[in-house]
Amino acid sequence: MLIYRFLTGEDDAAFCHKVTKALAEGWQLHGGPTYAYDAVSKKMRCGQAVTRVARDQPYDPERKLVDY
């Protein structure tokens, strides 16, 4: 089963660390990053989709995706 997550955050080092941690845990980048301006916070926000194959595990909507 292919698992999909969309990571989001402020465009800063913490977001880069979040994506790097996901990659270190076996997730793979899915497409390119996205950027949008948040008019409320007046900051750029970014997002990155990541996927990972979870073998021999049935999908459970109650389970956190990071636990696969």
The string of pLDDT tens digits covering residues 14-42 is: 999 999 999 999 999 999 999 999 999 99
Please count the structural domains in the chain: 1
Say if residues 24 and 1 touch (Cβ distance below 8 Å).
Answer: no
Q: What is the pTM for the complete model shown?
A: 0.84
Q: Does 24 map to a domain?
A: yes
Range of the domain at 32: 2-57
Q: Does 63 map to a domain?
A: no
Name the helix (H) or strand (E) containing 4.
strand 2-10
Q: Which pLDDT score is estimated for 55?
A: 87
Phi, psi of 15 (to 5 degrees): -65, -45
Q: Which pLDDT score is estimated for 67?
A: 83
Say if residues 45 and 36 touch (Cβ distance below 8 Å).
Answer: yes
